[in-house]
């Protein structure tokens, strides 16, 4: 990902959207890590909490135990500990069903 320019970064900060750059960096790292996990997708990230959508309820137990491994892999790509917690949501919950 290209870094945001100083002008754009200042603008985002001035309008209260300074979290956007962090969100974009986390999203990109998540996409890279999740290539290894079938049926798991990025849903949302905010303030250190990453929410991932899953398709297969049977895989949820394994994913739950791997949540720290997933966070560590993402943080390794980012070069710092931005993701502190990983939560899971079903696809139907994400779609409001």
Q: How confident is the model at residue 1 (pLDDT cuts 50, 70, 90)?
A: very low
d(CA 5, CA 95): 35
Of 9, 51, 57, which Cα lies nearest the Cα of 30? 51
Q: How confident is the model at residue 45 (pLDDT cuts 50, 70, 90)?
A: very high
Percent of the chain with pLDDT over 90: 51
Total domains, the chain: 1
- Radius of gyration of the chain, Cα coordinates, nearest whole angstrom: 15
Q: For residue 1, is it within any domain?
A: no
pTM value surpassing 0.75:
yes
For the segment 46-78, what is each residue's pLDDT rounded down to a tens digit? 999 999 999 888 878 888 999 999 999 999 999
**Tell me, what CATH number does 67's domain have?**
3.30.300.180
Phi, psi of 88 (to 5 degrees): -125, 145
Q: For residue 47, is it within any domain?
A: yes
d(CA 35, CA 70): 11
């Amino acid at each position: 990902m290209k870094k945001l320019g100083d002008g754009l970064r200042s603008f985002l900060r001035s309008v209260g959207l300074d979290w956007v750059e962090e969100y974009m960096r986390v999203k990109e790292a998540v996409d890279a890590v999740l290539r290894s996990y079938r049926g798991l997708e990025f849903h949302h990230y905010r303030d250190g909490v990453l929410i991932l959508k899953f398709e297969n309820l049977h895989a949820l137990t394994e994913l739950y135990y791997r949540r720290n491994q997933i966070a560590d892999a993402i943080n390794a790509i980012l070069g710092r500990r931005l993701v502190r917690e990983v939560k899971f949501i079903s696809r139907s919950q994400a779609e409001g069903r």
